[in-house]
Amino acid sequence: MATIRATGDALSAPAQPLAAEYPVWRTRLLFGLSVVTFLSMFVMLYMAFFYAGTDAVQGHVQRLFYVHVSSYAGGSVAFFITVIAGAAYLFTHNAKWDRLAVSSVEIGLPLMTVCLVTGSAWARPIWNTWWTADPRLNSMAVMWLMYAAYLTLRGAIEDPDRRARFAAVYGIIAFASVIYVFLIPRVRDDTLHPVVIGPSVANPTAQGEFEVRTDPRIGATMGVAMVWWCMAAVVLTWHRVRLENTAARLQALKARLLAKQG
């Protein structure tokens, strides 16, 4: 039997693969989704830059919305996975759900960063400023900070069970900020942020509002972009949780070797 030997000691332990073993069909499915996601990215970019018409008022800068809006959708999907994983952990106390929760936050936060950066880049030529004290913008920044704090919280708690429990509750509560960011331009009339999809309930005639249904090409491009970013969020989270599982197995193997050495 193959063994792993500790340095300076005759102690040996059965060697185990560091990577978790998964059913073949699941690995093939992940590979297929990864390939489809990669190839469809070029379709999405082509539609955003060349297929969709140019907005008559905003010009080419409006094309940022295909990334800005859909990256928010992808980040929301990742954060919703955190909610499901957190609830599953609280119910089962199985560490695999905690690994899924942290993996989805680590994917969702960069996607929301893309949303913030592209929104700021759009605001500069349209509003003549990179940032303004707008309720939608401020609430988006608060949401980003809440999920950054989620990762900080995990790093501040050493006990694994306590860390997973606190993080699960926090991840569920933090999702309220995602819902609030989505609703705020639709229910408040003191925001400059346009409602991209559908009319504003509070201010249907707000300047700068547009609907994707006004141009079939704009609507189709936005739909493809939304699907792509949501699919990318799922695929990236799937890859990330596999890395987390491998790290967990490595830590368990290290702990067994250290325990035998002691």
Bigger pLDDT: 5 vs 162: 162
| Domain residue ranges in the chain | 32-48+58-247
Bigger pLDDT: 1 vs 66: 66
Q: How much is the pLDDT for 253?
A: 85
Q: How much is the pLDDT for 61?
A: 84
Q: What is the mean pLDDT of residues 170-179?
A: 95
Q: How much is the pLDDT for 58?
A: 79
- Terminal Cα-to-Cα distance of the chain (whole angstroms): 23
What are the pLDDT digits (tens) for 192-205?
Answer: 666 666 555 545 54
Confidence of residue 224 (pLDDT cuts 50, 70, 90): very high
The owner of tokens 């094309």 is 63
Bigger pLDDT: 254 vs 90: 90
Q: How much is the pLDDT for 6?
A: 35
Q: How far apart are CA 117 and CA 180, in angstroms?
A: 19
* CA-based nearest residue to 239, from 106, 115, 112: 106
Asked if the model's pLDDT at residue 208 lies above 50, the reply is no
Q: How far apart are CA 115 and CA 133, in angstroms?
A: 17
Bigger pLDDT: 216 vs 93: 93
Q: How much is the pLDDT for 97?
A: 95
What are the pLDDT digits (tens) for 66-100?
Answer: 999 999 999 999 999 999 999 999 999 999 999 99
Compute how many other C-beta atoms are within 10 angstroms of the C-beta atom of residue 132.
Answer: 12
Asked if the model's pLDDT at residue 214 lies above 80, the reply is no
At residue 14, φ and ψ (nearest 5 deg) are -60, 130
Q: How much is the pLDDT for 182?
A: 85
**Which of 21-30, 48-57, 67-76 holds the top average pLDDT?**
67-76
Report the mean per-residue pLDDT for the chain. 83
Confidence of residue 191 (pLDDT cuts 50, 70, 90): low
DSSP H helical ranges for 128-191: 135-156, 160-187
Q: How much is the pLDDT for 8?
A: 38
What token pair was written down for 8?
């300076």
Q: How much is the pLDDT for 188?
A: 64
- Whether 110 and 166 have beta carbons less than 8 Å apart is answered as no
Q: How far apart are CA 17 and CA 20, in angstroms?
A: 7
Asked if the model's pLDDT at residue 234 lies above 70, the reply is yes
